[in-house]
Amino acid sequence: MDISKLAQDVLAYAGQGQGMGQTLAAGERRLREVLMQIGQAALQLHTDQDQRRGYEGCSRVCTCGKDQKFVGHRLRTIETLLGPVSLTRAYYHCRHCGQSHVPFDQAEGLGRLQVSVPLAQVVVELTDTLPFGQAQMKLEVLLGRRLSASSMGRITQKVGSFAAAVEEEAADQVKIDRSALAAMEVGRLYIYADGAMVHHLKDWQETKALQCRWQDAKENWHARHLCRNEKVPAFDALAWACMHGCGLDNARQSVLLGDGIPWIWNHLGPLADEAIQILDWYHAKEHLWGLAKALEGEGTLACHELLKELEALLWDSRLEELVALLENRRKHLRSVPKRAAVDELLGYLTTHRVRMDYKKYREMGLEIGSGPIEGDCKNLIHARMKRGSPRWSDQGCQAMLSLRCCHANNQRAPLWSRKPLLAA
């Protein structure tokens, strides 16, 4: 094919009527418009070439064991990257169980939503980061395609709900086949956990986040992300599978890092019972700052000096001295709020004492901050779930969370290979 001749024909066609314009930008816009029209027409011609699309004979075996009978060819119009395209497909029906089947739609991965797979992929990429209304405008600006915001929401929820089901399926598979994990060679495994609040239709609910980061045999680092809008018991099961799927059984050393949220230590701690538990240093430091401010007043020199003293003791794991200092300060306090502030910190230190040996952790070369999971809360949860101040349904929230984790885990291709638009 002579591309130059074809380009000349396109240019001649584009120059008809309104012309190409006098500027490069005008010519570019006109050619894009024309090429989209030509592409749509070519795709329609391509679909028209096969009028027996999906035909498998006068009957086919139904899932109920009986036969589905060929009824006829049914017309369907779907939106594509190039524009709407109509096609006919063979339609089968089983009179015994009432099921209907369109083999072509199954093979192509087309669900009930009237969009092609490539267009759905673009929609999901846009709505992954943008509110549905903004994504609608972006789609029109970038590709010239028009879909309603509600349609884009339905596409996203369909794919995201399938991604959530894939997470649950993977967790079940880990439980069933532990032997498949035996060959994993894992050096150091970090397990980070945290929570973030998301506005649902009726109230605010906590989304629980987990990140596993580990070294393989070649000392390359990998990460897996999990964000679930679950109650603690349901999240525990998924977290357990995620941790073991990342090599918890075979890790040379495992570390659980988090802040003071009780469910992290009360539930994830027993699941990773051999992991070294570390309370996030910066979270602990915030508690020291809170006490110094309560006792000496924010911004004062005395506040700064007290904070410096408390921080030095904790940094060097001199917890006995730190507790003694606090108890001594408490004896000389008459203010009830100040005494309560000291009691609160003493209780905090008692609760997390076994997780605050920061000097030892540094000597072991371990991280003492939970920055990676705070990054997940910011980038995977807040950046989308709070953008535009939306209120989420429970299903819509989990669909979006699972979709964003799928992308963060570089699982786009495996997800789409399983034809998520066909999901019930």
pLDDT in tens, 144-153: 999 999 999 9
Residue 394 lies in a domain: no
In a domain? residue 233: no
Number of residues assigned to the chain? 424
| Nearest C-alpha neighbor of 245 from the set 280, 272, 220 | 272
Residue 186 lies in a domain: no
Mean pLDDT of 62-87: 94
**Range 170-175 average pLDDT:** 85
Angstrom distance (rounded) from CA 361 to CA 208 = 26
Mean pLDDT of the chain: 92
Where does the pLDDT of residue 266 fall: very low under 50, low under 70, confident under 90, or very high at 90 and above?
Answer: very high
Neighbours of 204 (CB within 10 A): 9
| pLDDT tens digits, 333-358 | 889 999 999 999 999 999 999 999 99
Q: What pLDDT is recorded for position 49? A: 87
CA dist 216 → 179, 190, 302 (Å): 18, 12, 48
Query: Residue 389 has what pLDDT?
Result: 84
Q: Is 257 contained in some domain?
A: no
What is the count of structural domains for the chain?
1
CA–CA distances in Å: residue 48 to residues 29, 52, 89, 137:
29, 10, 11, 31
Across residues 317-326, what is the average pLDDT? 95
Strands (E), 249-292: 253-258, 276-279
Report yes or no: 194 and 228 within 8 Å, Cβ to Cβ: no
Does residue 329 sit within a domain? Answer: yes
- Is residue 307 pLDDT above 90, yes or no? yes
Least Cα distance to 71 among 88, 54, 53, 59 occurs for: 59
- What pLDDT does 182 receive? 57
pLDDT at residue 16 tops 90: no
Q: Is residue 223 part of a domain?
A: no
Both tokens assigned to 131? 């509110």
- Helix runs in 128-257, H state only: 132-143, 149-176, 232-245
Any domain includes 351: yes
Residue 232 has pLDDT above 80, yes or no: yes
Q: For residue 115, what pLDDT is reported?
A: 96
pLDDT value for 180: 58
Q: What is the pLDDT of residue 267?
A: 95
Res 12: pLDDT: 85
| HSE, side-chain direction, 13 A CA sphere, residue 297 | 3
Q: Tell whether the model's pLDDT for residue 183 goes beyond 80.
A: no
Write down the pLDDT at residue 178. Answer: 66
DSSP element (H, E) containing 210? strand 204-215
pLDDT at 187: 86
Decide if pLDDT at 86 tops 60.
Answer: yes
Please give the pLDDT value at position 356: 96
Cα–Cα distance measured from residue 115 to residue 89, given in angstroms and rounded to the nearest whole number: 15
| Residue 79 pLDDT exceeds 60 | yes
- Express each pLDDT in 272-294 by its tens digit: 999 999 999 999 999 999 999 99
pLDDT score, position 58: 93
What's the pLDDT at 172? 87
In a domain, 414, yes or no: no
Rounded CA gap, 304 and 369, in Å? 22
By DSSP bridging, strand 100-101 and strand 59-61 are unpaired
Percent of the chain at pLDDT > 90 equals 78
Q: What is the pLDDT of residues 394-416, one digit of tens each?
A: 999 999 999 999 999 999 999 99
Pairing of strands 67-80, 83-93: antiparallel
Q: Tell me what pLDDT residue 204 has.
A: 95
Write out the residue range of the structural domain in which residue 341 sits. Answer: 282-359
